[in-house]
Structure 1
Amino acid sequence: MAVGRAAVSAPLPATRVDGHLVNIGRLDQAKSTIDLDALSYRHLHVRGVSLGFSRPEALGHVIAALRDEVMPAVADNRIHPVIDSVHACDQAHEAAEGMRSHQAHGKIILTVP
């Protein structure tokens, strides 16, 4: 899946009626366009989450929803994480530079020996 601008509106038609669209992180750009018809016709709920700045009670709800709704979809291969790159721990500085450059498209992973 794409990140940033296009990723916000792309899943709207596939979201169930009365479903939820949760934006966690903005790896590309903070601005996006949403098809308001797709949002309205499906009675969707949109929530923006920034884990680094979330209130503890809000973060708890997000983590609970991940456990109950997202993790089963990951476990049975319905959704996949987007991985930009994998680095050994001794390459943490290079991995951090990749994150700071805003050029990463997905998660940057550090492996533990």
Structure 2
Amino acid sequence: MYFAYDYINENEQICRRVIQQMMGRLFGMGGDVIEQMKLTIQEEKVVRRMKQFELETVTPREVAEWTGLEKKTARKLLKGLVDKEVLAASDRLERVRKYTLEKDLSKFIL
């Protein structure tokens, strides 16, 4: 978490409160939950983009375009997000083609 020096000087209480809330979330959970909620930079980029543009679903091709990864690597990234329970497979067929965001992302600090 980053705060500009000027912002800290002008809004000291707000910065302190934000940091305390973040620490409360982290230390109020079990250690395995903290490990589970760590997202890589690429994973965080995908989740932020979906939330920013309010996307219902995402495909490996779209993720590959956003991140500059190969389509196969994007598929692995999405599978990792499903394993971390950030995304859910929207196709229940043999091969998953689309992914949707889980409703509750409160355990992830984005």
TM-score normalized with structure 1 length? 0.23
The structure with the larger Rg is 2
- Report which of the two has the higher share of strand: 1
TM value normalised by structure 2: 0.23
